Amino acid sequence: MKNPILKWAQNQLGSASLESKSIGQLFKSFFGKLIQSFAMTRLPIGAKNRCRLERLRGVKIGKNVFLGGGNILDRVRPDLITIEDYVSLAGGVNILTHSNPTLPLREILGPESHIVKPVTIKRGAWIALNVVILPGVTIGENSIVATNSVVMNDIPAFTVAGGTPAKILKKIPQTR
């Protein structure tokens, strides 16, 4: 890393790997994190304002979405998150689109240990409190993910899932 500013920024991260490869990316990341700190606040700023702030960071958010306080939508690659119309994310939800282990683990596990995959939450899904969604997951249309779940695999449409790791608990009837 030849650039002294990037070198300094990497040094501040300890064992984490700096994702930014240019000064422009570094500043974009910095300001994105500032915006996110306002979006994730538990202060009563309103779900629409949270959505506006997350859109500024690059998260694709549909209409009539509820974002509760304290949510963390990936700090490095928010552009890989898609939240469709009528989705509700209660508070404390963490959505990750990347995973980058420490340098010693990267050396042991190889380049495939660095994971970068999109996350999609389909129309009408409800994500309850304190759920963690890992990279590459799609939550199906009109599905529910129970409180304190860790979602490692796709959740089909019209399904209730929960647990650590999240498993299908039951199907939601589609009759009306």
Residue 124 confidence (pLDDT): 98
Question: How many other β-carbons are positioned within 10 Å of the β-carbon of residue 128?
Answer: 19
* pLDDT of res. 132: 98
More confident of the two residues 41 and 170: 170
Residue 134 confidence (pLDDT) above 60: yes
pLDDT at 10: 66
The residue ranking higher by pLDDT, 94 or 30, is 94
Pick the CATH number of 4-8+19-164 from 3.40.50.410, 3.40.50.300, 2.160.10.10, 3.40.50.970: 2.160.10.10
Cα separations in angstroms, 52 against 70, 79, 109, 117, 165: 15, 14, 38, 23, 31
Locate all alpha helices (DSSP H) within 62-175, ordered by sequence: 103-109
Q: Hey, CA dihedral for 140, 141, 146, 147, is it positive or negative?
A: positive
More confident residue, 102 or 124: 124
Tell me the mean pLDDT in the region 72-95.
95
Determine the pLDDT at residue 16: 55
Q: What is the mean pLDDT of the chain?
A: 87
Taking alpha carbons only, the member of 47, 49, 118 closest to residue 88 is 47
Taking 60 as the threshold, does the pLDDT of residue 141 lie above it? Answer: yes
Bigger pLDDT: 32 vs 59: 59
Q: What is the pTM of this model?
A: 0.82
What span, in angstroms and rounded, lies between the C-alpha atoms of 44 and 22? 36
Question: Dihedral through CA 104, CA 107, CA 108, CA 109, nearest 10?
Answer: 110
Name the residue type at position 126: W
User: Which residues 6+ apart lie within 8 Å of 15 measured at CB?
Assistant: 102, 103, 104
pLDDT of residue 22: 75
Across residues 79-83, what is the average pLDDT?
97
